[in-house]
Amino acid sequence: MNKITQAIVFLSLAGPGIVGNILVFMRYVYTSALGTEKRPIDLILIHLAFSNLIIICSTGVTDIVTVFYFRNFLGDIGCKTMVYLARMARGLSICTTCLLSVVQAVTISPRTTIWTKLKPQTSCQVLPFLVLFWIVNVLISSNLLSYIKAGSGWNRSVAATFIGHCYMLPSRHIIKWFFLSLMTLRDVIFQSLMGWSSGSMALHLYKHHKHVLYLHSSRSANNSPPEIRATWSVLILMACFLFFYWVDFILSFYTGFTVTHDSTLLNIKVFLEFGYASFSPYVLISRDVHPPHVLHAH
């Protein structure tokens, strides 16, 4: 019964997450392809939805299968692929969420500030950043390909760490700390940028709120301009990302420090790993309730 409950929990997150990200992906692909206005932020949202789909499919789906004890169904190649994709897509999600936050902060910044010069005007100006994110995260996660093994390919005489459906073999300390330092540096840089951009957007929203109160206009208060609605959605995304990231970080630190392998903690960690990927598309859908500009044209 416990295994069935775990499968239901995983499916309740993975199923809606896949549907939500596909909806966001298709919505912004449609807008970019047929819309008259090519917004750079649309490409970022397409990439974020695609990264989230990789996370859910590589982490959630494989964990649903392993709930029913099919621990070796992947094999060595399958284990390497799934763990590598999950780690790489997680990094892509961090970088893409940061880029979304920074672009939105620059977009709503006053025209008199120097930051307006950094505002991307076309999708082509955003594309090099996305390519860079792929290069960085492909390299940072490359060490996993050498140390991930399936249960059937693992020599029991060698100590290994069980990571849900595969085993991670011990690596040399130099290699381990080198890649760990790269991951830490990536997270610190991008989360610092998130913090700056989120603070900037929060300040702008506060000034906007004061302006609305000053005007005493119910129309202005009830019908926020599109950039304000978009800013609120990005801020909510930032809050969700930071919540899932830091709770997962604290839990990972605890389990690593205490060397515990409690199945309940492992299930919570899996939930945290793809919770943001499943929740984030619905933040975008709930805030972006207006039809695309191309529909108004018709």
- 27-36, 96-105, 211-220: lowest mean pLDDT where? 211-220
- What pLDDT is attached to residue 65? 61
Sign of CA dihedral 279, 283, 289, 291: negative
Q: What percent of the chain has pLDDT over 90?
A: 18
- Please tell me which residue, 11 or 162, carries the higher pLDDT value: 11
Mean pLDDT of the chain: 76
User: What are the tens digits of pLDDT across the range 217-265?
Assistant: 444 444 456 667 777 888 888 888 888 888 888 887 776 666 555 667 7
pLDDT of residue 160: 56
| Better-predicted residue by pLDDT, 49 or 33 | 49
- Tell me the pLDDT tens digit for each residue of 78-101: 788 888 898 899 999 999 999 998
Has residue 209 got a pLDDT over 80?
no
Domain spans of the chain?
Answer: 3-170+263-289
Say what the pLDDT of residue 83 is: 84
What CATH class is the domain 3-170+263-289? Answer: mainly alpha
Per-residue pLDDT tens over the stretch 165-207 = 677 777 677 877 888 888 889 999 999 999 888 888 888 777 7
Task: Label residue 115 by pLDDT band (50, 70, 90).
Answer: low
Residue 155 has pLDDT above 70, yes or no: no
Residue pair 45/284 in contact by the 8 Å Cβ criterion: yes
For residue 252 the two structure tokens come to: 């990972």
The CA-based angle 262-268-271, given to 5 degrees, is 145
Torsion angle of the four alpha carbons 27, 12, 98, 36, in this order, in degrees rounded to the nearest 10: 0
Query: Tokens standing for 54?
Result: 């990789």
Distance, in Å, from the CA atom of 166 to the CA atom of 76, rounded to the nearest integer, reads 8
| pLDDT surpasses 90 at 39 | no
Contact 252, 246 (CB under 8 A): no
| pLDDT of res. 220 | 45
For the question of whether the overall pTM of this predicted structure is more than 0.85, the answer is no
Q: Which of 28-32, 76-80, 109-113, 124-128 has the lowest mean pLDDT?
A: 109-113
Residue 199 to residues 18, 101, 105, 106, 219, Cα–Cα distance (Å): 31, 10, 9, 12, 27
